[in-house]
Structure 1
């Protein structure tokens, strides 16, 4: 049924659960997967601890290293499942756009992604990337949620 799955990761345990789900689904369907991590641009507004006291080059190098680490994990999980895998680490400011653009360019037919379950006001204030993908995607999306 599905032949090419896109699985975005942020390195979280829930994201890893989505990778395992994608690998199992890909194996069942004889599909391949593409792992995605979006490298964040440096902003003067601090939104992560490593930005305090960091310059643009240091921050970008740290985020590229993080991308490599997280995407190597996607490759490892795919290899353990016997699934073909490639990866992508685009730069951008909006993860949902990177997810949708990559899915289109790579001709994926399913997106498998985690949702951290921030509902209600907190979810609205944080701006769920999963919600944005669900709203703007024309592809089917499998959302992996945290256990209750």
Structure 2
């Protein structure tokens, strides 16, 4: 088919509240290190799986306070025809309090969104 995929991970910056500046820096550094390791692992696995199926695949990672906006912007910048994403399937009060990246995507994306749940 000649399709090309872009696999994107979005890391939200740390939101840490503390009056102890040493604790704040330590926690932020640990969060950043861990988040980068997780993103690197996800992207490496996705790229490897795509290549085993003969699919041309780019991988990228961005940091943004608004994951849905980052996804929409990346799709627009790269000229994507479709955004495929998984949904955690949170319901009720949890979904209300946590917010839903998937719902924001469906509401704001001009690119079609395929949701796997």
- Classify the TM-score, shorter chain: 0.7 to 0.9
2:93 and 2:46 map into 1 onto residues whose CA distance is: 32
Displacement after TM superposition at 1:53 (Å): 9.0
Write 1 or 2 for the structure with the bigger share of strand: 2
* Alignment match of 1:107 (pick from 79, 90, 96): 79
Tell me, yes or no, if structure 1 residue 70 matches structure 2 residue 49. Answer: no
The answer (yes or no) to whether the contact 2:12–2:65 under 8 Å persists in 1 is yes
Q: How does 1:79-118 map to 2 (within 5 A)?
A: 79-118=51-90
Q: Deviations over 1:108-144 (max 9, x none)?
A: 1100000122233332222110010000001111110
* Alignment match of 1:44 (pick from 6, 12, 16): 16
Tell me, yes or no, if structure 1 residue 119 matches structure 2 residue 61. Answer: no
Number of aligned residue pairs: 113
1:43 and 1:123 map into 2 onto residues whose CA distance is: 19
2:93 and 2:11 map into 1 onto residues whose CA distance is: 27
Displacement after TM superposition at 1:31 (Å): 0.6
**Which ranges of structure 2 fall in alignment gaps of 5 or more residues?**
19-23
CA RMSD of aligned residues (A): 2.1
2:55 and 2:76 map into 1 onto residues whose CA distance is: 21
Q: Deviations over 1:47-69 (max 9, x none)?
A: xxxxx994322321221111100
TM-score (norm 2): 0.85
Displacement after TM superposition at 1:45 (Å): 4.2
1:123 and 1:39 map into 2 onto residues whose CA distance is: 19
